[in-house]
Chain A
Amino acid sequence: MSATVREAAPPASPPASPPASPMRLGLRRFRRHRTGMVGLILVAVFIATALAAPLISPASPIAASWDAIRMAPSLAHWMGTDEIGRDELSRVIWGARASLAAGVVSVVIAAAIGVPAGLAAGFAGGAIDAILSRLVDAMLAIPFLILAIALAAFLGPNLRNAMIAIGISTAPVFMRVARAATLDTMTRDFIEAARAIGNPPWRIALKHVVPNIAAPVLIQATLSIATAIIAEASLSFLGLGEQPPLPSWGSMLNAAQQFLTQAPWLAIFPGLGIFFAVLGFNLMGDGLRDVLDTHRRG
């Protein structure tokens, strides 16, 4: 899911005055990127649902109701009720929180580890680069979800550990992206110029390299949130994420699997939640790549 090739974006309009940074120009172009904007809207709805869960949820997500067990969707319960009579709609709404938290927190962890490591590897080169790159090769050799499962299993099953496990497993991707962008930036003339006028290396790294690797890191972060949401749902599905009775889309699907014949709706709505959240971040990431990635544009 990491590297995907997209065709070149539509030609950019000439830069408006006053002169803006390439990043800002790119973001302005994003507003005209149709599928990217669809993604942004899906993401906005997802975030709003998660944040406003206490306000918009019609019932408590954990209150059991023994006289309303496995009721099909109706006006009273739009998405029906689950095996112990909890309102499915409320659980789907609250479940957005675990997904959003996992998506954002694990990607922040991954970027916090991967970006400085990639910057250091690309900037310093030599032995530091060799060691870090081999370590990343080794981590990427272990299948992503198997590594995340193993980390979550050894750390202990709960949402916090799932986020740490996903974050660590995602970090190598950020290291690779940051390293490649750093190496690319280092060949540019302004780095040579900054060196020539006597800037110390740390200043070159922070002032000149970091702003130039921001775009690829932002694109990767958006796409990685999509992957992290699926990973959290997968870990929860396996019982390694949010623990019952708290709702998460993955664990709801796990429970739903036992009632496929009696209550098929329980298997539909949480899956739709995951699908639309992930689709939103994927569309947005693709759109950002089209407007920000100068290498792919003709």
Chain B
Amino acid sequence: MQGPIGARLIQLVPTILLVSIIVFALQQLMPGDPAVLLAGDAAGDPHVVAAIRAQLLLNQPIWAQYLHWLWAALHGNLGYSWRLSSPVSALIAQKLPVTIQLSAMAFFFSVAIGVPAGVISAVKRGTAWDWIANAVGLFGLSIPTFWLGIVMILVVSVDLGWLPPSGYVPLTQDPLRSLETTIMPAFVLGNAIAAILMRHTRGAMLTALQQDYVRTARAKGLSERRVILRHALRNALIPVVTLGGLQLGTLLSGAVLTEQVFDIPGIGKLVVDAVFNRDYPVIQGVVLVSGLLYVVINLATDILYSVINPRLRGG
């Protein structure tokens, strides 16, 4: 099993390098001189601006700036927040657990809703169940995450008063209150992915149910329940697992909006606040970390894939 995974790891190197180049290139898009921007009130003083420029290495050729930045990033140094004057890496490390909690709960919701809905609509193909599941799936794909969040706050918090409309309590501080503050955002965030998972599970189940091994299982006299769960679903889940990994990007994108709507202090809120304050190093840091997360999670998904699908093991 080491062979293919080792090969995958080596393949990741150019991808990660290119992600870093994209992130570095972002700052070249910036209109105006970063040194002048950073100098703030002292922008009129050429000495101050020159000092900042020297400090940020803006006098050096662009490739040298990149290598310097990459070398620092490889050592965990993503620069300093312009506004909060603390290291970007520390800010991200502080906010990331919140986003991970939210995303994990959202993923749980999406699997708990999407996979059974997909199975039911495939098994009951052409019935009202299928129609309802498809309609709900399409609804989930078409509704903007942040609007669903606002409407949920309106109904669940403002009208019914069941859950707090915003805020966050850390899991370590008070687990119950933490769930209370995150359950609604997690549902909202999981919704879009539930729709995608539902459609894929349905497609994969429809294919699986037509296979010979399903006919064999039925011919053996196994119960329909066993045929569906043990034989068809097990095989149908293989492509769905890969898809789950690929949806991490959707999850992180959605987290930005969900955290904004529900006022949850994760990396999504961090990047939005950074945008408002033109805190460019923080924006770059979040982009870099989210890209790396995606690459790592997808490697993990590949490994998981080879575990569920023994045919892929060793080759």
Contacts and interface: CB of A to CB of B under 8 A. Distances in A.
B122 to A, nearest CB: 9
B151 A271 contact: yes
B248 to A, nearest CB: 8
B138 A139 contact: no
The residue in A4, A5, A146 that gathers the most chain B C-beta atoms within 10 A of its C-beta is A146
Nearest to B294: A141
A45 interface: no
B138 A279 contact: yes
Interface residues of A, number: 50
Contacts of B22: 138-139, 142
Interface residues of B, number: 64
A154 B278 CA distance: 8
Q: Is the interface of B mostly helix, strand, loop or mixed?
A: helix
A141 B151 contact: no
Contact of B15 (A134, A150, A256): A134
Contact of A153 (B154, B249, B275): B275
Contact of A271 (B147, B158, B206, B274): B147
Nearest to B17: A138
A156 B290 contact: no
A138 B15 contact: yes
A27 interface: no
Given A153-B275, A154-B283, A238-B275, A145 B257 contact: yes
A142 B261 contact: no
A191 interface: no
A239 B275 CA distance: 9
A143 to B, nearest CB: 4
B312 to A, nearest CB: 20
B294 A154 contact: no
B150 A253 contact: yes
B303 interface: no
A294 B139 CA distance: 26
Given A7-B203, A134-B14, A142-B290, A261 B144 contact: no
A140 B253 CA distance: 12
Interface string B78-94: 00000000000000000
A271 B15 CA distance: 37
A1 B256 contact: no
Contact of A267 (B151, B274, B278, B280): B151
A282 B141 contact: yes
Interface stretch (B25-33, B40-48, B60-68, B223-231): B25-33
Nearest to B205: A5
B106 interface: no
Q: Which 10 A-B pairs have the closest CB atoms?
A: A5-B203, A145-B253, A138-B18, A271-B147, A143-B249, A279-B142, A143-B252, A154-B29, A142-B291, A278-B142
15 contacts: A134-B18, A142-B291, A145-B253, A153-B275, A153-B280, A153-B283, A154-B29, A154-B30, A155-B31, A233-B144, A238-B275, A275-B144, A278-B143, A279-B139, A282-B142
